[in-house]
Structure 1
């Protein structure tokens, strides 16, 4: 490897967590985000030494490249979601500690499940404009170039996206994050109630307006609609546990998923769940079961 190539690879690695966060927030897929980062490196390499030397802000250039590579997939996502079987959830990001690049991704941007689901309700161009301006820090001139529109139009797109996020927060769809100890307390209570098949205890740990989403992608058996209400969720979870047998919980272990407390079920098929906690109770239980989303 030449010195120039090594320096280029070093530049990509330096910004890799940030770039993965950009791609993930746009696509909701770690694998697709990694592909976009790799393709951005190829474009960076093709600039040649003189072209790279002329780039004033490497991070911004790479962020723009990743966004452009993601744009077609972002714009086609609504059509793919229309044909998706059951609730859609983003690919979960399981992190293991400060040496894990994904831990840096979670720290670099708000990629909580609740936030990702709110972003899914934006138009594709609103999502790109909001992420590139508010999270990446690109100016609206640059955002407009990525979207193929003017700076004022890009500003308006970001404004509309931001307004939708505020509305979601006001409606309780985007609860204020709570600390890890509080999240873990709720998770422990949730798993204890589940292990005991105690409907009343589950009801107590769930918010009355809680939502349960199970993403099976039409490949794994899962609820086809979002289940709402703590009593409905509690009864359904206990019924599913009775059907699956106690071995489902035998090896369950707590993990960090998208920066929040979660759990991994090393069953067949495996499952990853995450709780969104607010006011001392779980307001959302999201379970990813689609094998393609769990390969990583």
Structure 2
């Protein structure tokens, strides 16, 4: 199996720098597979642990270290996806993927840390927007791995088969099934600038407690889902319908502390909002927009999923261009 990150022809005994240069690629794969940066970091760390616990002779025998690292990371993620379904049965309320800030707003989430290692950052593109990640959650672990590795990272089905333990033909069918799920979700094609305008209008209507304006900005069949993980107060079940969502957001506005600020920020490469209190990000709002109407709102309040967020640049505004996919 070859790696798509440029290390497929690495020497048989690469130095630390060559091996660690694969970390960015591994983090990008693991986050898309798991929807959790914390779990992705653990998976990549476990991969490197396995590499360095091999004897020098065993490492010398690896023809392509980059491919070996990718295979091991993907298999670890596949196993984690299988166990995650059982863990989430006991999760309090709805489970949502961990949201990511814009690359200029990245924080480590570690005590005393302010700037993350660039190798830990995840490239923000259409394959990590929250709408896409939520659809991935509906897939079986094998479907998710086959789709991400083949359709997003361009590995062959023969390479994917080596990881998931199935035939290339079976992996082709898994990826095809995953694509049908993606198409059925009707992902929005609304340009980022139009999304930003709609969300800004929503923010202004919310702050003005203008319920008619809120209803007008929401699709009649809109859905709102929140993730507090039992660690932060929020609604436990999805809210459906524009009027019910608007009234719920009016109640949130009335209860909002006076020192809480609502800021425009980029969430997983798309325009979103964050609520900040006492210098701490307490809520992240991600949106899906079709035309000029909001169709979905995802609310993440679980503090364990907000550790990478920082409020250092409170004047940050959305860009009208797509995020830099080369980060």
TM-score, normalised relative to structure 1: 0.86
Deviates more, 1:178-187 or 1:285-294: 178-187
For residue 273 of structure 2, what is the aligned residue in structure 1? 263
Residues 244-283 of structure 1: pairs in structure 2 closer than 5 A: 244-248=256-260, 251-267=261-277, 270-283=282-295
Distance 1:224 1:188, change over 3 A: same
Q: Please state how far the C-alpha of 1:23 moved relative to its aligned partner.
A: 0.6
The 8 Å contact of residues 19 and 65 in structure 2, kept in 1 or not, is answered as no
For residue 175 of structure 1, what is the aligned residue in structure 2? 188
SS in 2 for 1:214: strand
Q: Is residue 204 of structure 2 the alignment partner of residue 187 of structure 1?
A: no
The count of aligned residue pairs is 284
Residues 94-113 of structure 1: pairs in structure 2 closer than 5 A: 94-97=101-104, 104-107=122-125, 110-113=127-130
RMSD of Structure 2 on Structure 1 (CA): 2.6
Q: Please state how far the C-alpha of 1:60 moved relative to its aligned partner.
A: 3.2
For residue 111 of structure 2, what is the aligned residue in structure 1? none
SS in 2 for 1:70: helix
Task: Name the CA distance, whole Å, in 2 between partners of 1:22 and 1:185.
Answer: 31
Task: Name the CA distance, whole Å, in 1 between partners of 2:124 and 2:183.
Answer: 21
Distance 1:101 1:242, change over 3 A: farther
The 8 Å contact of residues 43 and 76 in structure 2, kept in 1 or not, is answered as yes
Q: Please state how far the C-alpha of 1:230 moved relative to its aligned partner.
A: 1.3
Q: Please state how far the C-alpha of 1:96 moved relative to its aligned partner.
A: 3.3
SS in 2 for 1:92: coil
Deviations 1:220-264 (A, max 9, x none): 22111111111111111001221234443xx22222111111122
For residue 181 of structure 2, what is the aligned residue in structure 1? 164
For residue 130 of structure 1, what is the aligned residue in structure 2? 147
Distance 1:59 1:242, change over 3 A: same
Residues 82-97 of structure 1: pairs in structure 2 closer than 5 A: 82-97=89-104
- Segments of 5+ residues of structure 2 without an aligned counterpart are 1-10, 107-117, 309-327
Q: Which of residues 70, 95, 114 in structure 1 aligns to 2:131?
A: 114
Distance 1:8 1:263, change over 3 A: farther
SS in 2 for 1:76: helix
Q: Is residue 43 of structure 2 the alignment partner of residue 36 of structure 1?
A: yes
The 8 Å contact of residues 144 and 154 in structure 1, kept in 2 or not, is answered as yes
Q: Please state how far the C-alpha of 1:47 moved relative to its aligned partner.
A: 5.0
For residue 216 of structure 1, what is the aligned residue in structure 2? 228
Q: Please state how far the C-alpha of 1:144 moved relative to its aligned partner.
A: 2.1
The 8 Å contact of residues 23 and 120 in structure 2, kept in 1 or not, is answered as no
For residue 235 of structure 1, what is the aligned residue in structure 2? 247
Task: Name the CA distance, whole Å, in 2 between partners of 1:184 and 1:201.
Answer: 16
The 8 Å contact of residues 31 and 122 in structure 2, kept in 1 or not, is answered as no
- Segments of 5+ residues of structure 1 without an aligned counterpart are none
For residue 27 of structure 2, what is the aligned residue in structure 1? 20
Higher helix share: 1
